[in-house]
Chains A and B, each alone.
Chain A
């Protein structure tokens, strides 16, 4: 079995892994690392249960001195793009950094999207929830004030068989309002 050594950061933690070249990211996470918050729903990119967020840009505070006295700082949220772990080969993830639903909360506070899912009862069986929450986070990071249509279109690809999407859409709207006004 051919293996490849990769370094992969998951929820801020760095893992040095030896992964079989044919393993998907989902297999590595669930079976090698026991990170079972990433779900297997179909294994062929059709349901979104295995959604994780891939960091594609540096986030955090960036400061540059503009002249001798002042430093200009901007807070930018890291840009994260949803990918499907069941169809991503782990071997291609070397040097990458991903976030799962277990890594969204900060200092014990749920992410606003997570909080909205709880408050709006947007969770039934919960099996689609990790993927759904991450997808919602990525929608709002790209567009903090999406219309209902944009939310619905953005969620396409993530299947929920329990909720009819009603309360999920509502939760994203609520999270959008909260984040847009800076409240957490």
Chain B
């Protein structure tokens, strides 16, 4: 065996091309005969009917090739998400999944809805012509809250977003599947949480608000689509889920799968926004209108804010009951979400919110209800964490409040009452196989000086008050068994004994490709530089779900390992034949296969690989030299579990009680990774996730005017933390609980990073000034207002 590469701090496989500017993102592709597409969006209204579309002036503009309206493209409605491919049809029906979006629309349901598209010879010509298109709108009522939407939906002839969802209710948890429309469990006597509150010594109830946050991936959405002479629709896109998106495009344009070729380019950040289709349908529709000419389409940044999906905002209600000693008895809860203009992921993230409650603490009974109403906002969809950040903000604050009021140590309480090995995870019937949370808590407590500082900050008097907060979480590694978790890998052994892996799995920047290559190198015992992962072209790669639900290493990695094991096995089998030895007695090191204990009896793997390809006939004997056939390994892997990782985070903040400013001084995030295949990547996920988590809790949210138009669709007004705003972040990888199921012991980390910072910062603010904030983001204005109204509570 060559020296192990697992757990090594090696450079990432794709960093040199990225640092020299050679990496090609979708927006960097230029092709001969290329045209430019521009989608005309509704900017002035969030709710309106298109009365008239007039292309006359626009068509006179130089360079215009074609203009497409709603009637010039397929009218087949679609849903942006790939969800329906991930669950059996019956589930989609149970959850009420619908297709309610059109490529170009006659009814505007949110600002930024697509109305028509211009194809021109240059980008500038397309933009100029788009400006000349006259759209006449009839404004409709603008519904921006669940209450408004519900009230309007209750009226006869009320405004309906879609006839498929009467009353404007986008989703709830169907009673046919969820008793009491709640996800959870009853106590051992069959009592629901609601029935247990009477038995509790202490009951708390709170309502929280969670914000509409934007992914803000740095690469704008760009595409090139080309309807070629073979009648194939080719599309280059930086989607997260290449294979499912290829299937959706084929369905939308009613083409057999083999006539759609999807090339996934390097992804300039995803965070969930590229989980389904965004601009693919528009770009493809334009390309199909001009066969033979590739059409390039690039979103402007301001389009991204209104035409791609966001996090689910809404109100969260909790009622929790405990015994005096803090034993958790009953939890009942409700997540009422503003859906935005389209169904997209439906109940997905709110259901997962409920699921993550399910996986966290040992209540005797728990239930969570979710509901969502359509609003005239940018549609909501997938965003890193998928319901879990919302829980971190609400649930973790509630636990801390209870501990404070009952005089309990909140860190000890979490150690005692979190679920662990043998308990049910976020999904009923699936139990934890590993648990490193207590180690995370211990290490984080030590690193942050939890006990000493808690004492030190107990009595403060100054203008600036410091506080410490803790928060824990569990997440998931892939979404088995709720969702399909299938990954295919082909490992091709070249004649010089190097390898290419063909696998349709994107690397959003997470380091997934690096980790997968490491796993391949480890399995084969080959050096890293002898292995290249080719991902991207659907013609070349087998099925893969793609990058979502923190699944890449956990679900795609095992496919790689199995494919490489197969290559190795074939090499050993051939060696056994040639050496006249038993396969079991053979070992491979540095590409030399030898009999264990008899190193002289050996053969080079390179020779076997070469002779497999160049299988000449020996003129003297008339026999072939070596064993014929190029070796390939293959795996079609289905995940068997979801090995949830745990994590604990402690934050220290300083609140300026005169200005309301909150400064995060230190953040310690300990993550139960099982085994870190590429530690810098895992750290990178947690460090970067902290920036997004802190944004959720401190600064980030959409602002709308009364007309439903976004007020902060730029990086100046939508405040993300910059390099000098970020706290000292200490990331600790806990490897004391390698997962028995995960590949090489690994669990996930991609989405886990946001929860800790969110919950712990909210709790640290509570600790500093004694006021709990129920609304995220916790801005200086809210802090000042609360201090003014409630006074410093500490």
Contacts and interface: CB of A to CB of B under 8 A. Distances in A.
Contacts of A34: 30
A169 interface: yes
Contact of A133 (B19, B27, B300, B681): B19
Interface string B669-688: 00000000000110110011
Contact of A127 (B11, B12, B268, B687): B268
Contacts of B267: 125
Interface in B1-24: 9, 11-12, 14-16, 18-24
Nearest to A125: B509
B294 interface: no
Given A43-B300, A121-B684, A166-B726, A161 B218 contact: yes
Contact of B724 (A100, A105, A149): A149
Interface stretch (B157-165, B428-436, B713-721): B713-721
A25 to B, nearest CB: 15
A56 interface: no
Q: Number of contact residues on B: which range applies?
A: 35 or more
Contacts of B217: 125, 127, 161
Interface stretch (A69-77, A88-96, A150-158, A176-184): A150-158
A121 B298 contact: no
Identify the interface centre among B9, B21, B217, B510: most chain A CB within 10 Å of its CB: B21
Interface in B715-751: 715-716, 720, 722-724, 726, 729, 731
A37 B12 contact: no
B15 A160 contact: no
Contacts of B220: 40-41
B729 A164 contact: yes
Contacts of B692: 161
B688 A163 contact: yes
Contacts of B270: 125
Contact of B11 (A31, A121, A165, A168): A121
Contact of A42 (B16, B28, B301, B688): B301
B15 A36 contact: no
Identify the interface centre among B27, B268, B509, B723: most chain A CB within 10 Å of its CB: B723
A46 interface: yes
A114 to B, nearest CB: 5
Contact of A167 (B19, B269, B687, B691): B687
Contacts of B726: 152, 164-166
B720 A161 contact: yes
A87 interface: no
Contacts of B268: 125-127
A86 to B, nearest CB: 10
A38 B23 CA distance: 11
Contacts of A102: 20-22
Interface in B239-274: 266-271
A162 interface: yes
Given A36-B28, A162-B269, A163-B684, A121 B511 contact: yes
Identify the interface centre among A121, A130, A169: most chain B CB within 10 Å of its CB: A121
Interface string A18-49: 00000000000001001011111111101101
B512 to A, nearest CB: 11
Interface in A120-139: 120-121, 123-130, 133
B20 A105 contact: yes
Binding site of A, secondary structure by majority: helix, strand, loop or mixed? loop
Given A42-B714, A156-B723, A127 B21 contact: no
Contacts of A152: 723-724, 726
B123 interface: yes
A44 B298 CA distance: 16
Nearest to A37: B21
B20 A114 contact: yes
B25 interface: yes
A54 interface: no
A44 B11 CA distance: 33
A47 B718 CA distance: 12
B508 interface: yes
A6 to B, nearest CB: 18
Contacts of A40: 27, 220, 298
A159 interface: yes
Given A34-B30, A37-B22, A127 B269 contact: yes
Contacts of B687: 163-167
A101 interface: yes
Interface string B117-152: 000000100000000000000000000000000000
A110 interface: yes
Contacts of A160: 218, 688, 723
Contacts of B266: 125-126
A49 B217 CA distance: 12
Contacts of A130: 21
Contact of B19 (A39, A46, A114, A169): A114
A104 B123 CA distance: 30
Contacts of A158: 723
B508 to A, nearest CB: 6
A130 B18 CA distance: 8
B722 A159 contact: yes
Contact of A161 (B21, B25, B123, B271): B271
Interface in B688-716: 688-692, 714-716
Nearest to A149: B724
B18 A121 contact: no
A43 B301 contact: yes
Contact of A123 (B19, B689, B720, B724): B19
A43 B299 CA distance: 11
Contacts of B715: 42, 46-47, 159
A127 B20 CA distance: 11
Given A125-B509, A127-B219, A161-B692, A110 B19 contact: yes
Identify the interface centre among A104, A130, A165: most chain B CB within 10 Å of its CB: A165
Given A159-B715, A160-B218, A161-B692, A166 B729 contact: yes
A105 B508 CA distance: 25
B15 A117 contact: yes
B572 interface: no
B216 interface: yes
Nearest to B731: A166
Contacts of B724: 149, 152-153, 155-156
A75 B266 CA distance: 40
Contacts of A14: none
Contacts of A118: 11-12, 15-16, 19
A161 B691 contact: yes
Interface string B17-41: 0111111110110100000000000
A161 B267 CA distance: 13
Nearest to A100: B21
B609 to A, nearest CB: 30
A159 B722 CA distance: 7
B298 A156 contact: no
Contacts of B510: 124
A148 to B, nearest CB: 9
B21 A164 contact: no
A55 B493 CA distance: 48
A156 B722 contact: yes
B508 A46 contact: no
A87 to B, nearest CB: 13
Contacts of A124: 269, 508-511, 684, 688
16 contacts: A31-B123, A36-B25, A38-B21, A43-B300, A117-B15, A118-B19, A121-B680, A124-B511, A125-B508, A126-B23, A127-B219, A127-B268, A129-B18, A161-B269, A163-B691, A167-B684
Given A114-B20, A133-B19, A159-B720, 20 more contacts: A36-B21, A36-B27, A40-B298, A41-B219, A41-B220, A44-B714, A101-B20, A114-B19, A118-B11, A121-B680, A125-B218, A125-B268, A125-B508, A126-B23, A152-B724, A153-B724, A156-B722, A161-B217, A161-B692, A167-B680
- In the A-B complex, the 7 residue pairs with the smallest Cβ-Cβ separation, listed nearest first, are A37-B21, A125-B509, A126-B18, A124-B509, A127-B268, A121-B680, A36-B28
